[in-house]
Structure 1
Amino acid sequence: MSHVIRFYSVTDTCGWCSNFAPYPIRLNGKTWPTSEHYFQAQKFAAPADQEAVRNARTPMLAARMGRDRKRKLRRDWESVKVSVMRQAVQAKFTQHAQLARLLLDTGEATLIEHTEQDDDWGDGGDGHGRNMLGRILMEVREALSQRT
């Protein structure tokens, strides 16, 4: 059986896996304070809404803004959200060599975002969730391992 690494909070041992971890990424010609800022901003069609999220003081605030339905969600969000997350995670781990090394050092471990708050990106707290963030991290780890 494969080793399992669960993460959620940035204060966890593998907190660097979290999208809230303080590693800026550069995408679409802009610097985003965290991968969470980028992901949440991409939910919106209006550049002003994207910029407001990019400028959020914390990733938690960016996440709250991303869930605010007073802002107009882009029409195709459900069909593009996984590729947007993949783009954010790839940027994070290719733009920060120390993070790439940490991810590669997880070896063959199964990476699981362990939270009751989310059964799409996480495991739903009891393993029934899709764990899409964990899956994307493992995909990125595989791609990085083929470069070295």
Structure 2
Amino acid sequence: NAFTQKTKSGSNLHKNKYLTEVLNKYKMNTDEVWKGIVANRGSVQHLEFLTQDEKDTFKTAVEINQAWIIEHAAERQEYICQSQSLNLFFPPDVNKGDLHSAHMLAWAKNLKTLYYLRSEAISRADNVASQAKREIIFEQEECLSCEG
């Protein structure tokens, strides 16, 4: 829904244009809302003004039930002569049993491949710039450099 692309010329924030339309509908297309989305790794589940249907529409890959992904891939598989590149996404603290169950479900449903298994890092560096509160303190009436 939102991510920062870092290039040689700087960083650019990319926003989901369909989510932007929904935020405009609520008059909530603000920098503060987008900062919250980026801080939550693209998730909108924390936005209380969205309906459950809207939250479901804009789920991130990790928030989607991976068994649902496997079931739908299995339905398509019989119409594909070779294979499909199926990517599964799990949270960093995924339960080993859940991970095993996903693999077993894919095998039981005759999926030919699981292309990638992706997970987020268990810990991420804090974005200090977004957390730091800057306050200007005027203790002296005159700049020390200007005193002469």
Q: Does TM-score exceed 0.5, indicating one fold?
A: no
Tell me the TM-score normalized by structure 1.
0.27
Larger RCO (alpha carbons 8 Å, 6+ apart): 1
Higher helix share: 1
Higher strand share: 2
